[in-house]
Chain A
Amino acid sequence: MSNAKDAAAAGSSNSHLPGRVLRIASDWSEPAIEWIIRLCGWSAILFVFSIFFFVFREAAPVLFGKLSLIEFFTSARWQPTSEVRPEYGALALLVGTLAVTGLAMLIAVPLGLGAAVYISEFSSGKLKETLKILIELLAAIPSIVWGFIGYMVLGPLIITTTGAAVGVNLLNGGIILALMSVPIIVSVGEDALKAVPDAYREAALSLGASRWEIVYRVLFPAARNGLLAAVLLGVGRAIGETMAVLMATGHAVEIPHSPLDPIRTLTATIASELGEAVSGSVHYRVLFVIGVVLFAITFAINLIADLVVKGIHNEQN
């Protein structure tokens, strides 16, 4: 800010009037812009806390009473609208979310990091630019379109190639989620690799390392914080995704025994049932309990990421 004032003052010495105008403008606009930016920063805190407060408030009445948490976490029977006896066992949904996220990461991490390495280290010029633009384009495809591809294209393809009974299943959801996470992993991973100083590459080359050895022994360790961030952002994308998994996974309350079994995720359950649950009913509140569980999962992932990154820092120091 003081630099800007100096610059304005310097300007005023050359021609008197414009400099004066500039100085007056900067006097009030600088603090105003500072405050706007500060509010933007604070608003994030406000939004997170108010969303958490709202979700928790809606869930609280059953969290300490009507809902048996033991049933919720250990039973795979989700029969919220039963007229015999409503049951709220979310184990199958929890397993479904973890399974589809895990499978997506098994596909997306090698694919994403491989693509990041290729773009950052092995391609150049026009090819590099084209690839970067195309991958950014991939990130811009709406999730409903991905879901539609899973439902209409990938589903029938899975039936004909694997002989599975049904094409919307864990494998379908995993592939779709992987394709959705890859652009994030590639762009964050590529930035991390780009940030490694060229001196590292030159030093390794002068020691006679091959290009693969440079990537594996020098770049990966040097960029591991950034690469870990890339992977975790991908995981976050996969866990939170709703519409695409609702369409591609089959939405069946079942603990999967093979990748060809249909599954149901926590997010898709909220999406498909919240609209029709009478507000204030037990069913409605249990859906918010699922929201709290999703919050807890993302919080745990972020916390683990922070701890791992800090651990790496300490190791390096």
Chain B
Amino acid sequence: MPPRSCLFLISGLLPLVLCGFCGCEKPADGKLAIRNEGSDTMVNIAEAWAEQYHREHPNVRVQVLGGGSGVGIASLIDGNCDMANTSRKMKPAEIDTARSRRGGEPREIVVGHDALAIYVHKRNPLDSISIEELADLYGEGGKITKWSQLGVPEGTLGTDQIIRVNRQSSSGTYAYFREAVLGKGRDLKLASIDANGSKDAVSLISHTPSAIGYSGMGYVTPDIKTLRVSKRRGEPGVAPTVENARNGSYPITRPLQIYVIGTPAGAVKDYVNWILSPVGQKIVLELGYVPAKLHE
């Protein structure tokens, strides 16, 4: 093998080796670092918190990584982060693993709420949809496959076929949507487009007239439309707004939480208290989510 290929191999492996160390190390300059990882839904909030907190406390640096709730929990279990952001509850099996590997009880801190909005293309004349219809559309064995079955006249969207946009099966949003729409004990239909992130799902729907999908309501853009949602067919739909999510009338709302191992102490404790303070909760509201604590 010529030396050039050798260099190529080494340069290819170097990032792999480096990746094992970066991200979660304490910085060398003596500053405190908090490692915060998890949900893609929460990554915008987590970054806004980290920036604002660093401005107020220059000696603390919060490193925020996305990747999904599952990634954050796996990372917390492996000891690679201090706080896991999740948009779903930890499963009993995960709690057991965390307890045995980290030697402490995972503690859940609810920091806000997220209303999962149902997105369609701007051209779609549909105004509202019920959870029952969503279950028939997304659930295995469900009968809705065409827009005309939902009352959208044929020809308005180019094709009558409904394109279901889903999330990758290991994301917290996917797990929550499955539970909220289908309950436990039923799977989502296969052959959906599995977008690899909340933003990807929304941008795909904005390019695809016959698509429908779901994502946190913080991802609304002017290029896309959200539907009102009701529990049963025929009932009036409720719009995905902060007020409706907070007063519980919007049917697809879920808590956003942070998991830590054991009772938070030191820098992590201060950070968690700050997140629940009026300043931290205001950031949640500003980004289109619902605060966990009411500070009037």
Partner of B207, one of A80, A152, A279: A152
Partner of B204, one of A79, A151, A272: A151
Please indicate which of the listed interface residues A76, A151, A163, A272 has the most CB atoms of chain B within 10 Å of its own CB.
A272
B 182-220 to A, binary, CB cutoff 8 A, 1 in contact else 0: 001111001111111000100110011111000000000
B 98-124 to A, binary, CB cutoff 8 A, 1 in contact else 0: 000000000000000000000000000
Q: For A167, what are the chain B residues with a Cβ–Cβ distance below 8 Å?
A: 207-208
Q: Are B3 and A78 in contact (CB under 8 A)?
A: no
Q: For A250, what are the chain B residues with a Cβ–Cβ distance below 8 Å?
A: 193-194
Given the interface contacts A167-B207, A246-B196, does A279 sit within 8 Å of B190 by beta carbon? no
Give CA–CA (A82, B203) in the complex, Å: 27
B window 157-192: CB within 8 A of A: 158-159, 161, 163, 168-171, 174-175, 184-187, 190-192
Partner of B209, one of A39, A78, A159, A276: A159
Give CA–CA (A151, B174) in the complex, Å: 21
B263 interface hit (Cβ, 8 Å): no
Given the interface contacts A155-B207, A278-B74, does A252 sit within 8 Å of B13 by beta carbon? no
A166 interface hit (Cβ, 8 Å): yes
Q: What is the minimal beta-carbon distance from B195 to any residue of chain A, in angstroms? A: 7
Complex: chain A residue closest to B163, CB-CB: A166
A275 interface hit (Cβ, 8 Å): yes
Q: What is the minimal beta-carbon distance from B177 to any residue of chain A, in angstroms? A: 12
Q: Are A165 and B169 in contact (CB under 8 A)?
A: no
Give CA–CA (A179, B9) in the complex, Å: 25
Q: Are B187 and A254 in contact (CB under 8 A)?
A: no
B240 interface hit (Cβ, 8 Å): no
Partner of A82, one of B70, B163, B187, B210: B187
Known: A84-B185, A273-B170. 17 other contacts (CB 8 A): A40-B2, A40-B9, A41-B6, A43-B6, A77-B190, A155-B207, A159-B209, A163-B158, A163-B159, A165-B159, A165-B163, A246-B196, A251-B168, A252-B194, A277-B74, A278-B70, A278-B77
Cβ contacts A to B, 26 pairs, < 8 Å: A36-B3, A41-B1, A41-B6, A43-B6, A44-B1, A44-B5, A44-B9, A79-B190, A81-B175, A83-B184, A155-B207, A156-B207, A159-B209, A165-B161, A166-B193, A166-B210, A167-B207, A168-B204, A247-B200, A250-B193, A250-B194, A251-B194, A252-B190, A252-B191, A272-B196, A276-B171
